[in-house]
Chains A and B, each alone.
Chain A
Amino acid sequence: MPLLDVQDLRVDLPVEAGTLHAVRGIDLSVERGEMLCLVGESGCGKSMTSLALMGLLPRRAQLSAGRLDFAGESLTALSERRRGQLRGRRMAMIFQEPMTALNPAYTLGNQLCEAFLRHRLGNRRQARERAIELLERVGISAAAERLAQYPHQLSGGLRQRVMIAMALMCDPDLIIADEPTTALDVTIQAQILRLLRDLQQEMGTAVIFITHDLGVVARIADRVAVMYAGEVIETAPTQALYANPSHPYTRGLLSCIPAPGKTPPGSRLQAIPGVVPSLVGEVEGCAYRNRCPLVREGEVDAARCERTPELRRLTGDHQARCHYAEHRAATRVAQPEMSP
């Protein structure tokens, strides 16, 4: 049984013009100790998905799900009180901006120990000991003295390390990390990612890592789910996804980034023309068809794309939401990428 089992998760937000369908029926499952990367561009619903899983959606948002099970317990059936007991204890979150996620008015020690004490996992001395142990584990020197410091006294990289230590305080089963390294310099990012990956494997914590960076995904993920317009459009183990991207959007994303050794410097990059469809009101058919090269170049029967494709299994645990995931153009585009 997976640790997290989500089926047909939907999040609707009332807006002036009607209803914004931010998440439009996604299926996700996360095994214990697994690193799942949720990747997509802004507005694809990846952050709303994470907030829905944590039970932190804005009050006006409406959530519905065919199934939303965490460790065998249905989250939708839980009272707010029971949900609060899970949050921070068994599911923890790491946010993008360590400056805004940490309270500037409290010491690090105070913030580190808060959840531990709130969930009654021990007394103050034990909380302090655990905080020091974890700060050392995330590579912060003079951990005991750091507990008396305030967030502004730390650099961005150190703050993000504190956030990771904080997420681990109660030894959760699942950590949701929402773009945790996007605000950091590349040198710091590499170190934080390495740390997160090491800790995750060492402690057997499952992680849902949300990012827009396909470079990061390639290096840390066990499995990837690509999101577009509120849906998961492709999901596969990392190697399989990069070796054989089957949804035209995934292929588009991969060819947008200049790849050293593959993209000649100064050459034109492949861009994805057009924009993401508005998610206000109902979206009919394949959400990507207006930007899809297969449709544009008349490679496929566009009428079929007017019908909403299902997320269907291609091979093993490789799934894609495209009527033409096996189309020959797919292999033609993918091949030069794979050849050395």
Chain B
Amino acid sequence: MNALSSAGALADLAGAGPDTDTDIDTMPALELCALSKRFTLGGGLFKRGRALQAVSEVSLAIPRGQVMGLVGESGCGKSTLAKMLLGLTTPSAGEVRVDGRPLGDAGQKALARHIQPIFQDPYSSLNPRKRVAAIVELPLRVHGIGTPRERARRVAETLDLVGLPKRAAEQFPGQLSGGQRQRVAIARALIMRPDIVICDEPTSALDVSVQAQILNLLLDLKQEFGLTYLFISHDLAVVEHLVDRVAVMYLGRIVEEGSREQIFAAPRHPYTQALLASALTPEPGLGVPDIGLGDVMPDPSNPPSGCAFHPRCPKAQALCRETRPALVTDTAGATRVACHFASA
């Protein structure tokens, strides 16, 4: 199925099943090439503002049908990255490719046919004055897809797909629970039949019992439609459960990337190690680990010299203060890590 043809977006819900083609597509569904974003802070008419490098030269490839987890602390640039992928902010440098084609000049509307978001907070991401049916239908109307009758049928099918009862269509978001609202947000994302879904903390506003339902739904939908996810989360247990690969960001850069098994079993970057150590699994008696990171996130508008992580790093040496380590791919080509003293 050609991802860039608009026919894909029009395909029937039932007909457009998973990519059952037997030829294995080696082209990544989504590719980020040295993507950077620079903001200017506090500039005035006669005053030059400070530059804030929110994202620096991020390169990432997500194979079709896979889930890439993106983890990092607040302010590390993961949401800015998501915004660039959704066309909500333009990159300062680099480009995004879908199926090998640059999206740069495709425009917002073309982009929306292929990449759709699910945001964190289903309380603020849905218009409280519109009925659920209208919210879910809106992308189709914007893109001028189908007749009103066809659209209504698609809305009904999509609501059913995400496990919402029929009556939900006529309700307002305020009448739904948090989990139901997030299902509406998922329905809205899926009605365009995107190839790629950017999930920005999709369950962190939900209770754990509801979180499990939504994670199950996301996994089912991925299976059924061969979706590719970029899954942004701070919950490492959820990331470990859901993703195929993990990218770890620190201060705008990827510091480590690898398979789920490698990252969780044998993390190589000291920051990844600290992040994993700070995840509190429900095992009584273990206490709270001492991760010794300090709690001062460096100022992104004035990043530390050399390796940006060195002020908090237990392994830091003189070299780390002077030279920024490159993101190096290991000999097997399976993992990338940016650390002078990475664990083997």
Contact = CB atoms under 8 A, between A and B. Distances in A.
Interface of A: 41-42, 139, 155-158, 161, 185-194, 197, 212-221, 238-239, 241-243, 252-254, 256-260, 263, 265-266, 268-273, 275
B240 A253 contact: no
A273 B209 CA distance: 8
B151 to A, nearest CB: 30
Contacts of B236: 186
Given A187-B274, A190-B277, A266-B242, 15 more contacts: A157-B295, A185-B73, A186-B278, A189-B280, A193-B288, A197-B288, A212-B208, A215-B279, A219-B284, A241-B284, A253-B208, A258-B215, A258-B241, A260-B281, A263-B241
B284 A218 contact: yes
Chain A interface helix/strand/loop/mixed: helix
Interface in B194-210: 207-210
Interface centre among A157, A193, A219, A268 (most CB of B within 10 A): A219
Interface centre among A212, A214, A239 (most CB of B within 10 A): A214
B212 to A, nearest CB: 4
Interface string B267-289: 00000001101111111111111
Nearest to A256: B212
B279 A155 contact: no
A155 B213 contact: no
B162 to A, nearest CB: 14
A187 to B, nearest CB: 5
Nearest to A197: B288
A266 B219 contact: yes
A189 B74 CA distance: 12
Interface centre among A157, A197, A263, A271 (most CB of B within 10 A): A271
5 contacts: A42-B207, A185-B74, A191-B295, A197-B287, A214-B208
Contact of A190 (B178, B211, B278): B278
Nearest to A274: B209
Contacts of A275: 177
A20 to B, nearest CB: 16
A259 B293 contact: no
Given A190-B278, A218-B280, A256-B208, A265 B289 contact: no
Contact of A41 (B209, B287, B295, B297): B209
B172 interface: no
A272 B279 CA distance: 24
Nearest to A140: B295
Nearest to B271: A187
Given A257-B237, A269-B212, A212 B207 contact: yes
Interface centre among A187, A188, A268, A275 (most CB of B within 10 A): A187
Nearest to B74: A185
Contacts of B238: 258
Nearest to A44: B207
A218 B287 CA distance: 8
B296 interface: yes
Interface string B229-260: 00000101110111000000000000000001
A211 B71 CA distance: 23
Given A191-B293, A212-B207, A238 B284 contact: yes
Contacts of A239: 284-285
A259 B282 contact: yes
A271 B279 contact: no
A258 B240 CA distance: 8
A155 B212 contact: no
A273 B210 CA distance: 8
Given A41-B209, A220-B288, A265-B242, A257 B293 contact: no
Nearest to B278: A190
Interface in B20-64: none
B72 to A, nearest CB: 9
Given A191-B295, A258-B237, A218 B283 contact: yes
A214 B208 CA distance: 9
B216 interface: yes
Contacts of A188: 73, 295
B240 A190 contact: no
A269 B219 CA distance: 10
A191 B289 CA distance: 8
B150 interface: no
B264 interface: yes
A186 B293 CA distance: 11
Contacts of A155: 295-297
Contacts of A220: 287-288
B88 interface: no
A254 B282 contact: yes
A259 B237 contact: yes
B145 interface: no
